Amino acid sequence: MSYLLVSVIPMLLLWSNIVSMLEGHMLEQRQLEIRSLSTQFATTLSTGNYIGDVTARPIPNQEMLGASRSRDVRIIVVDEMATVLFDSSMGAEVGSTWATPGIMQALDGSHHYFISDDLDTLLEIAPILAEGGGIAGAVMMSQSAIDDRVLIETINDLTVNFIVLLGLIVAALVLLIAGWFIGPMKRILSSMSKISDGHLEERINLKGKDEFSFLGLAINDMTDKLSKVETARQEFVSNVSHELKTPLSSIKVLSESLLLQEDVESEVYREFFTDVTAEVDRMTNIVNELLTLVRMDEVELPLNISNFNLNKMLEEVIKRLKPLASEREIEVEFAPLRQVSLDADEMKISLAISNLVENAIKYNNAGGLVKIILDADNKSAFITVADTGVGISEENQTKVYSRFFRVDKGRDRETGGTGLGLAITHKTILLHKGSIKLTSKEEEGSTFVVRIPIHSRS
């Protein structure tokens, strides 16, 4: 409808104005034509004494008959008494008196112009001057404008038909274009409705290189990411259930073993309850680290930014983990290349680096080495944690930051790991607008390089 209103209706309005202008122009041209002709013959008849001398009339009469036939004009000549002396229409009115208002006005010395109400007849009357002065008579020109009117009406009908036909063509084209637009949009909306209902396997298949195809590709890409998020969520729930189920199962087995035994010695109770406590501690660690990750997933997690000495913080982390390293016969070496003052959340950065160093100790070989290097430039601090441990395969290097992911699940349970440490570290570094990179080779060790902006941009 909008296309029709914008294209067809203005054409109709424009054409109605054009028709009116064309009709006015044609009438004006006819008026000028008969006025010129009436003035010409009025002058001719005046100089030839046409009114007073009967013998002077044949030649002008022939000229007026010729002009009447060639111009399709009726010419009537009257004398000063309004008696018709000449009528180009076979002399029909010769001898009669035509004392019409127009002729009387011309006999008074003024030109008279008249158009009938139906615009079908044009009339021009010019006075004929006498040789000695005064008015000798008048010459009247009348012409039919019916042919012009018929021509205008024909043109008008043809144009209206053309505009109507054009409107139908435009309507058909608009419907085709609308179908071309609406068809893909309906398919997109239908697929999006299914996706919103949870059918994440739904995909939009649109071929081409137009905007709808690009929109379909964008929605498919978004759906792929949603599917990955949903898969990750399901894996997360499954992993949480599994991680909590294991210590619960152990506690249940230990408690049932005690209940089924009679006259159990106190040492056995102590041993069993020590194992139960260890399993409870493990569950507590899992829950605490999950809570930490949940808080980090908040859109606007507040960071307690403060300026602190990064060298000192790293020394405290190493000091805390020295007993664990000594227990496993691991040497920990700290190599600060410069003093670094950092604007960051000290507690969260400390936890993140602690996870890296603790993993480097736990997954190292007996007698191995963990080396921590601190360096910086004008914009960022760089913390390198390298070990000589078991290493990580290339296919697993992209998964190490996933929650509950373990390279060696059996070894993780021996070391008490939850599979959440690197996920927390990764999230913490990203919150500080930093980055973390891993290079590793199986049985040769792993190296993590952490970059943190020195000045906070939050």
CATH number of the domain where residue 440 is located: 3.30.565.10
pLDDT at 235: 66
Q: Which residue has the higher pLDDT, 5 or 218?
A: 218
Residue 176 lies in a domain: no
With a cut of 90, say whether residue 178 has pLDDT above it: no
Q: Which amino acid is at 407?
A: V
With a cut of 70, say whether residue 112 has pLDDT above it: yes
Q: What is the mean pLDDT of residues 288-305?
A: 65
- Last residue of one domain, picked from the residues 296, 314, 339: 296
Contact between 399 and 405 under an 8 Å Cβ cutoff? The reply is yes
- CATH assignment of the domain containing 275: 1.10.287.130
8 and 119 housed in the same domain: yes
283 and 233 housed in the same domain: yes
Q: What is the mean pLDDT of residues 35-44?
A: 86
Residue 316 lies in a domain: yes
12 and 42 housed in the same domain: yes
Q: Which residue has the higher pLDDT, 261 or 219?
A: 219
273 and 327 housed in the same domain: no
Q: What is the mean pLDDT of residues 22-27?
A: 77
pLDDT at 403: 65
Q: What is the mean pLDDT of residues 20-37?
A: 81
pLDDT at 451: 95
pLDDT at 383: 96
- Last residue of one domain, picked from the residues 296, 315, 339: 296
Q: What is the mean pLDDT of residues 120-142?
A: 86
Q: Which residue has the higher pLDDT, 30 or 344?
A: 344
pLDDT at 286: 67
Percentage of residues of the chain with pLDDT beyond 90: 19
Read off the pLDDT band of 438 (50, 70, 90). very high
Q: In terms of residue numbers, what domain contains 339? A: 305-453
Residues 6+ apart with CB under 8 A from 407: 363, 390, 392, 393, 396, 400
Read off the pLDDT band of 421 (50, 70, 90). confident
pLDDT at 240: 66
Q: What is the mean pLDDT of residues 44-57?
A: 83
Q: What is the mean pLDDT of residues 206-218?
A: 80
Q: Angle at which helices 421-431 and 266-296 pack, to 10 degrees?
A: 30
Tally of domains within the chain: 3
- CATH assignment of the domain containing 92: 3.30.450.20
Query: What tens digit of pLDDT does each residue of 153-166 get?
Result: 787 788 778 877 87
pLDDT at 309: 95
**Using CA of residue 413, residue 419, residue 425, residue 426, what is the dihedral sign?**
positive
- Collapsed DSSP state (helix, strand, coil) of residue 266: helix
131 and 23 housed in the same domain: yes
Q: Which residue has the higher pLDDT, 28 or 290?
A: 28
pLDDT at 12: 72
362 and 418 housed in the same domain: yes
Q: What is the mean pLDDT of residues 6-20?
A: 74
Q: Angle at which helices 2-47 and 58-71 pack, to 10 degrees?
A: 170
- Last residue of one domain, picked from the residues 151, 178, 202: 151
pLDDT at 169: 83
Q: What is the mean pLDDT of residues 178-187?
A: 79
Read off the pLDDT band of 379 (50, 70, 90). very high
Residue 162 lies in a domain: no
Average pLDDT, the chain: 82
Nearest to 124 by CA among 172, 73, 158: 73
Residue 356 lies in a domain: yes
338 and 399 housed in the same domain: yes
340 and 441 housed in the same domain: yes
